[in-house]
Chain A
Amino acid sequence: MKHRSLVLFMLLLLVLSPLLVAAADDFELTIPLPLTGKPAKFGEIMKHSYEIAVEEINAKGGVKGKKIVLGFEDSTGKPETARAIVEKLIDSKKQPIIVGEYTSACAKAVAAVAEERKTPYLIVASADDDITQNKYKYVFRQNQVNAHYGDAVVDFLKNVVKPKSIAILYESSAFGTSGADAMEKDAVKINAKVVLKEKFETGAIDFKPLLSKVKAEQPDVVYTVAYANEAQLIMKQAKELRVDARLYAGGAAGFAIPEFIKGAQDAAEFVISATLWSPQLKYEGAKEFADKYKAKYGEYPSYHGASAYAAMHVTADALNRAKGLSPDEIRDALKATDLKTAYGPVKFEDKEGYQNQNFHETLVIQVQKGEFENIWPQSQAGKAYIFPIPSWRERK
Chain B
Amino acid sequence: MMKNAFPYIGLGALLLFPLLGFSSYLMHIAILVIMWSVIGMAWNLLGGYCGQVSFGHAAFFGVGAYTAGMLYSKLGLSAWWGIPASIVVVTLVALVIGYICLRLRGPFFALATLSMGVILRITAENLVKITGGDIGIMIRERTWVEKIWYYYIILALAVMTFLVVKQVVGSKLGYYFVAIREDQDAAESLGIDTTYYKTVALCLSGVITGLAGAFYTNYMGYIDPKVVFALHDISIITIMVVMVGGAATFSGPVVGAVIMVLLAEMIRSIPKLGAAHHTFFGLLLIVIIIFLPNGIVGDFEKIRKLFRTRQEQP
Task: Find out whether the CB atom of A177 lies under 8 angstroms from the CB atom of B222.
Answer: no
Annotate A54-89 by CB proximity to B: 1 below 8 A, 0 otherwise. 000000000000000001111010111101100110
Bound: A71/B140 CA distance, A: 30
> Interface stretch among B21-29, B87-95, B106-114?
B21-29
Task: Find out whether the CB atom of A116 lies under 8 angstroms from the CB atom of B134.
Answer: no
Bound: A74/B142 CA distance, A: 25
Bound: A177/B126 CA distance, A: 11
B170 within 8 A of A: no
Once A130-B138, A174-B135 are accepted as A-B contacts, the answer to whether A14 and B270 lie under 8 Å apart by CB is: yes
Bound: A172/B125 CA distance, A: 7
Task: Find out whether the CB atom of B265 lies under 8 angstroms from the CB atom of A84.
Answer: yes
Task: Find out whether the CB atom of B23 lies under 8 angstroms from the CB atom of A91.
Answer: yes
Once A15-B269, A18-B269, A79-B227 are accepted as A-B contacts, the answer to whether A36 and B275 lie under 8 Å apart by CB is: yes
Instruction: Among A15, A84, A177, point to the contact of B28 (Cβ < 8 A).
Output: A84
Interface class of chain A by DSSP: helix
A134 within 8 A of B: yes
How many positions in chain B have a CB within 8 Å of any CB in the partner chain? 38
Interface members, chain B 192-229 (any A CB < 8 Å): 220-222, 224, 226-227
Once A17-B271, A40-B275 are accepted as A-B contacts, the answer to whether A128 and B135 lie under 8 Å apart by CB is: yes
Instruction: Among A35, A84, A105, point to the contact of B274 (Cβ < 8 A).
Output: A35
B278 within 8 A of A: yes
For B311, the chain A residues whose CB sits under 8 A away are 1
Task: Find out whether the CB atom of B140 lies under 8 angstroms from the CB atom of A134.
Answer: yes
Instruction: Among B29, B134, B268, B274, point to the contact of A173 (Cβ < 8 A).
Output: B134
Once A109-B222, A134-B138 are accepted as A-B contacts, the answer to whether A92 and B25 lie under 8 Å apart by CB is: yes
Instruction: Among A15, A83, A202, point to the contact of B220 (Cβ < 8 A).
Output: A83
For B233, the chain A residues whose CB sits under 8 A away are 78
Interface members, chain B 4-34 (any A CB < 8 Å): 23-25, 28-29, 32
Task: Find out whether the CB atom of B275 lies under 8 angstroms from the CB atom of A15.
Answer: no
Task: Find out whether the CB atom of A105 lies under 8 angstroms from the CB atom of B275.
Answer: no
Interface members, chain A 1-33 (any B CB < 8 Å): 1, 14-15, 17-18
Q: B278 — nearest CB in chain A belongs to which residue?
A: A36
A178 within 8 A of B: yes
Annotate B273-295 by CB proximity to A: 1 below 8 A, 0 otherwise. 01101100000000000000000
Task: Find out whether the CB atom of A174 lies under 8 angstroms from the CB atom of B25.
Answer: no
Name A residues whose Cβ lies closer than 8 Å to a Cβ of B.
1, 14-15, 17-18, 35-36, 40, 71-74, 76, 78-81, 83-84, 87-88, 90-92, 105, 108-109, 112, 116-117, 128, 130, 134, 172-174, 176-178, 199, 201-202
* A-B pairs with beta carbons under 8 Å apart, 8 shown: A15-B267, A36-B275, A84-B25, A84-B32, A112-B138, A112-B142, A130-B135, A173-B226
